[in-house]
Amino acid sequence: MLIPNKYNRDEVITSRDQLISFLTAGARPEKDWGIGAEMEKLVLDSHTGEAAEFHRVEALLSALAKNGAWQEVREGARLIGLQGEHSSITLEPGSQLELSGQLCADLFCNCNDFSKHIVNAVAACNELGLVLVGLGTQPFTPLDKIEWAPKSRYDIMGPYMLKTGDMGQRMMKQSAGLQVNLDFCDEADCMRKLRLAQALSPLIYGLFANSPLLEGEASGFLTTRGEIWSRTDPDRTGLLPFLDNPDAGFSDYVDYALDVPMYFIMRSGQYIDLTQRPFRFREYLASGYEGHQATMADWDLHLSTLFTEVRLRPQVEVRCADSLPPHLVLTVAALLKGLMYDQE
């Protein structure tokens, strides 16, 4: 689970220094470093293997909420997620379940945390005729047979994906991955970890490839999810180009993010669609949008829509691996913890 920055959400951005400071604030002393993991699971019908409809996944969330450890998260009348004290469950566009575990000092803590949640989720699934599957892509259900989860941000993102790349909607509705979150102590350490993680991304794709099927057929790829991502919205996916520069820093990340087209901003709990034309944060910062000025909350939201193989949230987030079965979920975190936190 990411540790959110403490900042004034309504603070108007008047200087790029504020954007850099947002990233700088993610630094933590080495003694406080933790490791976070997020896993996405496909929710399938236990008899047919087809993607479960949203109302069945909503029933699963409702069943999990009854144990008292979760607060319901709703959009309108629909249950779209659960929030715990240190963990959360959210829904991806095709009703894939994403569990963000607590930030832990060691992998034993991560393991205990995930094991508890998985046991509860599996028990609830058994009662509902559902099964959680750790695969990187939906194995059987065609794209057009998977309904959209009723989240208003997806009403904006979904149509936009048809304008850029040719597999954006597959990424949204048919894929599932694992993310690992890592701490850094300062700017140089952050860049070192971003650079190493990005260099490792092909290896991570290969080692943890777990998506050979798509729509009932062998796709020709061991990681179909990797192929899908390579054909999704090139403005915000792939590699961070500035990491080739040994002198790169937070300023370079800010410049990269400023030039990525925006999806939306949020005002009074409602998303405002900015996708009618390529509208970059740099332009928004300079000119605003229909009377709205750029705020730190807008910046935070925009950073969450960058889908590169590694990114800053503001912790280092590594996003390459396919979803895996429960007993393998933390292997990615173990590998990255060893490589990133051991100075030798």
Burial tier of 53 (Cβ tally within 10 Å: 0-12, 13-18, 19+): middle
**How many Å apart are CA 95 and CA 321, to the nearest integer?**
19
CA 202 to chain CA mean position, Å? 18
**Segments making up each domain of the chain, as ranges:** 32-233+309-341
Which tokens in the block code for residue 41?
């699971």
Residue 278: name the closest of 130, 164, 173, 189 by CA. 164
Residue 42's beta-bridge partner residues? 133
pLDDT of residue 200: 98
Look at strands 307-308 and 310-312 and give their pairing.
unpaired
Fold classification of 32-233+309-341 (topology level): Creatine Kinase; Chain A, domain 2 (3.30.590)
Angle (CA) 74 80 85, round 5°: 80
The H or E element that residue 36 is part of is strand 35-45
pLDDT of residue 3: 55
Beta pairing partners, 179: 38
Question: Tokens representing 239?
Answer: 């590699």
Which uninterrupted H or E stretch holds 237?
Answer: strand 237-238
Write out the chain's pLDDT in tens, 344 residues. 555 566 788 999 999 999 999 999 999 999 999 999 999 999 999 999 999 999 999 999 999 999 878 999 999 999 999 999 999 999 999 999 999 999 999 999 999 999 999 999 999 999 999 999 999 999 999 999 999 999 999 999 999 999 999 999 999 999 999 999 999 999 999 999 999 999 999 999 999 999 999 999 999 999 999 999 999 999 999 999 999 999 999 999 999 999 999 999 999 999 999 999 999 999 999 999 999 999 999 999 999 999 999 999 999 999 999 999 999 999 999 999 999 998 87
Q: Are 56 and 124 in contact (CB under 8 A)?
A: no
